[in-house]
Chains A and B, each alone.
Chain A
Amino acid sequence: MNDGEILVIDTEALVTEVLKLKHQNYRLVQICATKTGEGYELTYSFGKDYEFVCLRLNIKEGDEVSSISDIYKPAFLYENEIHDLFDIQIKMISQDYHGNLYRMKTKTPYK
Chain B
Amino acid sequence: MSVRSIVPFGPQHPVLPEPIHLDLVLEDEKVVEAVPSIGFVHRGLEKLVEKKDYQQYVYVAERICGICSFMHGMGYCEAVEHVMNVEIPPRAKYLRTIWCEMSRIHSHLLWLGLLADAFGFESLFMQSWRLREKILDMFEVSTGGRVIFSVNMIGGQRRDMDAQMLSMFSKVLDDMERELREISKTFLNDYAVQSRLKDVGFLTKEQAHELGAVGPFMRASGIALDSRKLGYAAYPDIDFEPITSQVGDSYARCDVRIREIFQSFDIIRQAIAKIPEGEVAVPVKGMPSGEHFMRVEQPRGEAIYYVKGNGTKFLDRVRVRTPTFANLPGMLETLKGCQLADVPILILTIDPCISCTER
Contact = CB atoms under 8 A, between A and B. Distances in A.
Contacts of B42: 102, 104, 106
B241 to A, nearest CB: 14
The 6 closest A-B pairs by CB, nearest first: A102-B39, A30-B321, A74-B329, A34-B317, A104-B39, A103-B39
B225 A95 contact: no
B278 interface: no
Nearest to A105: B39
Contact of A110 (B44, B227, B230): B44
A52 B292 CA distance: 12
Contacts of B94: none
Given A77-B328, A100-B37, A34 B229 contact: no
Interface residues of A, number: 29
A25 B212 CA distance: 12
A88 interface: no
24 contacts: A25-B209, A27-B209, A27-B210, A29-B304, A29-B321, A30-B321, A30-B326, A34-B317, A45-B293, A50-B229, A50-B230, A52-B293, A52-B295, A73-B211, A74-B212, A76-B329, A95-B35, A100-B37, A103-B40, A104-B39, A104-B40, A104-B42, A110-B44, A110-B47
Nearest to B21: A103
A73 B329 contact: yes
A110 B51 CA distance: 14
Interface string B13-54: 000000001000000000000010111101010010000000
Given A30-B321, A32-B321, A52-B293, 8 more contacts: A25-B209, A27-B209, A27-B212, A54-B293, A100-B37, A102-B358, A103-B37, A103-B38
B300 to A, nearest CB: 15
A110 B39 CA distance: 14
A35 interface: yes
Contacts of A25: 209
B308 interface: yes
A29 B211 CA distance: 10
B326 A74 contact: yes
Interface in B301-322: 302, 304, 306, 308, 316-317, 319, 321
Interface in A76-103: 76-77, 95, 97, 100-103
A28 B326 CA distance: 9
B188 to A, nearest CB: 30
B171 to A, nearest CB: 36
A30 B304 contact: yes
A101 B39 contact: yes
Interface in A30-59: 30, 32, 34-36, 43, 45, 49-50, 52, 54
Nearest to B325: A77
A100 B293 CA distance: 28
Contact of B212 (A29, A34, A100, A106): A29
A52 B214 CA distance: 14
